[in-house]
Structure 1
Amino acid sequence: MRIVGGSLRGLKLADVGEGDTAAHLRPTTDRVREAIFNLLINGTHGNPIPDARVLDLFAGTGALGLEALSRGAARVAFVDDGGAARGLIRTNIEKARAMGVTDIWRRDATRLGPNRSAPYGLIFLDPPYAQGLAERALASALEGGWIAPDAMIVCEESRAPVIPAPLTQIDQRRYGDSIVTLARMPSS
């Protein structure tokens, strides 16, 4: 796995091999990650990445959040409740020399609780597939005030998630066994 674009392009991330099923690690492939960022940057909905506060839920290796940093995001908060995942995220943050602009939180993404800081303008969700966790995490993020007005949400799942109101689905694409759904929070 490598960062596929931006200032960190080509940076090799910590190797997970085929993933760690015991730790629920199934990294987003470089190809799917590149497709996600092409949708974000070149889509008709405007590029949400420059200077964004990013929330990477079910962060795994941290590749999505680090890709956003590489492309101009201001800060990334990585959320994962797995010890193996947080270790990989720490290693990858060190490789990217991004310690000053990142946070790692040990937390269940489906039970975020109240947000005590500014809300996030770009949110990634890449949960373990086919368990309904994306919907539960989105509900938790909405309830806790984690999602900023006009925020972009990117969800990678094996099936199309049900996007809860007030979020609006704006795009959906299939890449192999992954379905990438983009949704937007209303402006106000």
Structure 2
Amino acid sequence: MQKKKPAAKVPVHGPQHAKQVRIIGGDWKRTPLPVLEALGLRPTPDRVRETVFNWLNHLKGDWGNVRVLDLFAGSGALGFEAASRGAQQVTMVDANAAIVRQLQAIQEKLNATNVVVQRADALALAQSLAQRGQRFDVIFLDPPYQEDFLSRALPLCDKLVADGGLVYAESGLPLVSEDGDAPDWLEHWEVVRQDKAGMVHFHLLQRRAG
């Protein structure tokens, strides 16, 4: 790892979001997902989700055997998108009671039997799942930008991601600078895809071999 430069200031609010987003593919294509007014909640934009799921389709292929963990579920845009495309199981986690109730209501409306919604602290639950030996093929990390969640959540994913699994990480800044500088907590991970849309920087990560 190269010497790190002083961290740039992360945008606090992220992109302005709509009152609802829509599932863009799969069995529930065009289904609207309401977006609550909650601190730090900004659903992943349609353009970003379309790109990310194109990446995942290319890298993972058939969704039928894919186990998904959405640690900061929020609007559910990422988790329900994966479920719509046929993921074997999607575990969606959020600490906000109102958000969890809304996710459960959407789950019931869609009869999404492949979705499990849990109210929990994301980091604590990640530790618990790892201790129980659970593994996931795709993990979504889309936490509030203004808090340092990625640096704490990604190391926990080292024991949560299955062999060959992928972690999606969204942030207000690129994880690797143009000069190749990266934080220490990224050293066990390879950035296999990355892009930017407006203020959203998004990445697919895979655990380095060895």
Aligned residues of 1:4 and 1:67 also touching (Cα < 8 A): yes
Name which of 175, 187, 196 aligns with 1:174: 196
- Separation in 1 of the partners of 2:109 and 2:54? 24
1:85 is aligned to 99
Q: Deviations over 1:62-84 (max 9, x none)?
A: 11011111112100001111112
Taking a change above 3 Å as real, the CA distance of residues 49 and 130 of structure 1, as seen in their structure-2 partners, is: farther
Name the amino acid aligned to 1:27: P
Which range is displaced more, 45-54 or 73-82? Answer: 45-54
- Separation in 1 of the partners of 2:75 and 2:138? 18
- Separation in 1 of the partners of 2:28 and 2:74? 19
Answering whether residue 205 of structure 2 is matched by residue 183 of structure 1, we say yes
1:106 is aligned to 119
2:186 is aligned to 164
Answering whether residue 65 of structure 2 is matched by residue 51 of structure 1, we say yes
Answering whether residue 150 of structure 2 is matched by residue 128 of structure 1, we say no
- Separation in 2 of the partners of 1:53 and 1:164? 23
Answering whether residue 82 of structure 2 is matched by residue 68 of structure 1, we say yes
Return structure 1 stretches of 4+ with deviation > 4 angstroms: none
- Separation in 2 of the partners of 1:182 and 1:7? 24
Which range is displaced more, 31-40 or 149-158? Answer: 31-40
Name which of 19, 27, 35 aligns with 1:7: 27
Aligned residues of 1:110 and 1:136 also touching (Cα < 8 A): yes
Count of residues in Structure 1 that have an aligned counterpart in Structure 2? 179
Shift of 1:26: 1.1
Q: Which has the higher contact order (CA 8 A, sep 6+)?
A: 2
Which range is displaced more, 31-40 or 163-172? Answer: 163-172
- For the residue of structure 1 that corresponds to 2:123, the secondary structure is coil
1:154 is aligned to 168
What TM-score results when the alignment is normalised by the length of structure 1? 0.85
Taking a change above 3 Å as real, the CA distance of residues 106 and 26 of structure 1, as seen in their structure-2 partners, is: same
Q: Deviations over 1:12-52 (max 9, x none)?
A: 22x22xx5243x2211122221121122224xx44374420
2:44 is aligned to 28
Task: Select the structure of larger CA radius of gyration.
Answer: 2
1:40 is aligned to 56
- Aligned residues: CA RMSD: 2.1
Percent identity (aligned): 35
- Unaligned residue ranges in structure 1 (runs of 5+): none
- Unaligned residue ranges in structure 2 (runs of 5+): 1-20, 176-182
What TM-score results when the alignment is normalised by the length of structure 2? 0.77
2:7 is aligned to none
1:139 is aligned to 155
Name the amino acid aligned to 1:20: E
- For the residue of structure 1 that corresponds to 2:32, the secondary structure is coil
